Amino acid sequence: MGFEGTKPRGAIMVQINRVHTGSGDSGETSLVDGSRVLKSHPRLMVVGLCDELNTSLGLIIMESNRLSEIALDGGPRPTVRRVKAVLSASMSRVQQELFDLGAELACPLDSIPEYMELIDENDSDMLLEELEAWNQKLTPLKSFIMPTGSPPVALVHHSRTMARRLERHMVGLGDEIRPVALQYVNRLSDWLFVLARWITHCLGESEVLWVPKGQRTVSDESPKDIQESLEKDFDEL
C-alpha cells in the first residue's frame, strides 16, 4: 500500500494513493521506520492480530444493528436500544484505539516517532471503569460460561479470545512492547468478557454455564437412536 504522511500538531495524516505497490510481492514489508522485514516476523504477527481483532469489533457493531427494537407483542425494547447505543459508542472508540495501537506495534520500540499519539493510561483506565460499571449489573458467576448466545454476544466472546491471542504474541516480544500497551490489551479482553455478559443480561437471555464432566446429565439415547428418531420425524412431515 502506498501512502504519504505529514505530521501536523502531533498527528499522522495519511493519504493513500496506491493500494498495490508490488513491494510486498516477495514476502517482505516495511515497518513505520522504513526497515524491511519478512511478513512472518513476530512484530508483523502482532500488527496482523491487532487488525483481525479490530475487524471482529466491526462485526459486533453490524450484528447489534440487526437486533430488533420491537418486541413480539409490538411494544418497544428499550434495553435493545441501550445495547445498540453502548456498542456503537464504545466499539467505535476502541476501534480507533486499536488503530493507534497497530501503528505503534508497527514500529520498533526505539524508533517510535515523537509525533505518534500512543495508547496511554487514560485509555486503559477507561476500559476498567466501563467493565466495572457493567459488572455491577451482573450476578456473580458460579461457574465458567460457554462462549455462545445471540450473534452479538457470541462475536464479543470470539473477539475476547482474539484479544488474548494478541496479548500472548505481544508478551513474546518482551521488552519490545511498552507495558501500558500490554496492559491495555489485557484489560480489553476482560472488558469484552464483561461486555458479553452485560449484553446477555440486557437482552434477557440466559447464560450457558459449564458443567464439569461427571455432573452433566447423560441422555439414555445413543447418537444412532437420536438420528433414527429425527429421520422418522422428517419422513412423517
* Helix pair 78-105, 151-172: axis angle to 10 deg: 20
Rounded Cα distance between 10 and 121, Å, is 18
Q: Among candidates 181, 19, 28, which has minimal Cα distance to 104? A: 181
- What pTM does this model have? 0.83
Confidence at residue 29, expressed as pLDDT on a 0 to 100 scale? 67
So what's the pLDDT on residue 72?
A: 83
Domains of the chain plus CATH, in order, are: 39-213 (1.20.1200.10)
CA distance 30 to 27: 11
Distance CA 212, CA 178 (A): 39
Low-confidence residues in the chain, pLDDT < 70: 1-26, 28-32, 34, 38, 219-221, 233, 235-237
